[in-house]
Structure 1
Amino acid sequence: MCNLYSNTIPATAMRQLFDVAVERDRLGNAVPLPAIYPKHLAPVVRKGDEGKRELVPLSWGFRTTKKSKKTGAIIQPGAWNNARDDKVRSNGLWKQSFEERRCLVPASSFCEAQGRNPATYHWFALKGDEDRPPFAFAGLWQNSRYQGEEGPEEVVTYTVITTTANELVKPIHPQRMPVILKPQDYEQWMDGNADDAFELLEPFNSNEMQIVRSGEGEKSDPAGRLP
């Protein structure tokens, strides 16, 4: 389960990596994001109204109405930041987005916690010539409509798909890890049919990944450097 990741990729590099024309970059003054949590805004690559890719800031986590178990009153909405690969074709929260609104979620690294009180945080990245080569999670997006504390609300959101943990992640998080897509698969994910896209939902090769940082309380870097 992924609840924390980073994206410190410059906007110019994201446009090049994900084949987005400069006029379709909607990020504005994008800044490095060393720690992205559920309900935070972060860059997403999706297909716009004309079917062309665009870079947009969306909020992490599909929203749904949430009620207090004690009082039944509407409280802050739930944020579904992960979608299981084995549920995306059957679960009503994910199904239509999987068929019609797939996206790429640019990232530099992601974090998984191990243990409690205190937890140890492990940051995973890809191997490569760079310190932390950029990559993309397989994602979905939607316009979430729900009941908030003050009445009906809506926000454009995204979620990250997870799959079975590979051999590197498994000792830290035994069950799940985010789906990381290879660049040659971006087009199939964005433009292929549901069957084509589903074929890509598998663990990333552990030999091509590394743990780049571990420690208690290592959830972000106070100096602003990449986790």
Structure 2
Amino acid sequence: MCNLYTERKSAAEVAAHFGVDPPMQAFNTAEDVYPGYSGMVVREAEGRRILQSMTWGFPRHSKNKKTGLPNKPGYTNNARDDMLWIIWKQWYTDPAQRCLIPFTAFAEAVGEKGSMTKTWISVADQPLAAWAGLWRPTVEWGDAYTGVMVDATDELLDIHDRMPVILHPEEHEIWLRAPAEEAIKLVRKYPGDRLVADHTNDPWSNRGKPSAPPPAPEMPSLL
């Protein structure tokens, strides 16, 4: 599960990288994005790409076991690959509801419970990469998005057993436009020898306080 990633790029830089017209208004997004925070999303509408700020996480509803009353909605910020044709079918099979989630690194919690630290994972051959995502309008907090996850590559297993679906640049248009049967071919592990892990001493519980992302690597290196 991915519960934290960083953009570390301005809206103008993201727009230029993904071939989007710069937004008319500045985005109010955090550099470190947690579930429930606003993040930048690239999607298509009327044949052109749009850069938009959305809430990370589809609404998840539950009831209080004692009172039976509704709890405050939670955030479903990850979508399992094996559930794309089941839970997520409504949005996955509609190309218009797929999106790109720009990121420079994602983080996982490592260590013993109570003293976990952040390990940042970046993509050596893509300083600014795209995570395959889904989006939809919500009553609760407007447009929202979630990221598709797969089993982790072997090099990441000592950190976590799941990882985001990281797209190659030539796959962006396929994810945004192709039929579901073709897009599913992109739902796979990213080559482990192109990922770089930076193990930090920054507490995982240090939510909301930006931490330094890993430096951009000069060449691909093994985790």
Q: TM-score range by the shorter chain?
A: 0.7 to 0.9
What is the aligned counterpart of 2:124 among 123, 127, 131? 127
- TM-score calculated relative to the size of structure 1: 0.85
- TM-score calculated relative to the size of structure 2: 0.86
Q: Could you say which residue in structure 2 is the equivalent of 1:156?
A: 143
Call closer, same or farther: CA 1:185–1:172 in 2, change over 3 Å: same
- Tell me whether 1:13 sits opposite 2:10 in the alignment: no
CA–CA distance in structure 2, aligned partners of residues 19 and 104 of structure 1 = 12
Call closer, same or farther: CA 1:141–1:205 in 2, change over 3 Å: same
1:73-112 matched pairs, under 5 angstroms: 73-91=69-87, 94-100=88-94, 101-112=97-108
Cα drift, residue 31 of structure 1:
6.5
**How many percent identity over aligned positions?**
33
Call closer, same or farther: CA 1:154–1:117 in 2, change over 3 Å: closer
- Equivalent residue letter for 1:74: P
- Equivalent residue letter for 1:42: G
Q: Could you say which residue in structure 1 is the equivalent of 2:191?
A: 205
Cα drift, residue 167 of structure 1:
2.0
- Equivalent residue letter for 1:168: E
CA–CA distance in structure 2, aligned partners of residues 102 and 143 of structure 1 = 12
Is there any run of 5+ residues in structure 1 with no aligned partner, and where?
146-152
Deviation digits for residues 125-175 of structure 1, max 9, x if unmatched?
Answer: 0114xxx81101000001124xxxxxxx452110000001012221111x2
How many aligned positions are there? 210
Deviation digits for residues 22-56 of structure 1, max 9, x if unmatched?
Answer: 3xx26x224773311001011000112x2311000
What is the aligned counterpart of 2:179 among 186, 189, 193? 193
Q: Could you say which residue in structure 2 is the equivalent of 1:40?
A: 37
Call closer, same or farther: CA 1:53–1:119 in 2, change over 3 Å: same
1:63-78 matched pairs, under 5 angstroms: 63-78=59-74
Q: What is the aligned-residue RMSD (CA, Å)?
A: 2.1
Q: Which runs of 4+ in 1 moved over 4 A?
A: 218-225
Is there any run of 5+ residues in structure 2 with no aligned partner, and where?
215-223
- Equivalent residue letter for 2:144: T
Secondary structure of the structure 2 residue equivalent to 1:67: coil
Q: Could you say which residue in structure 1 is the equivalent of 2:217?
A: none
Secondary structure of the structure 1 residue equivalent to 2:32: strand
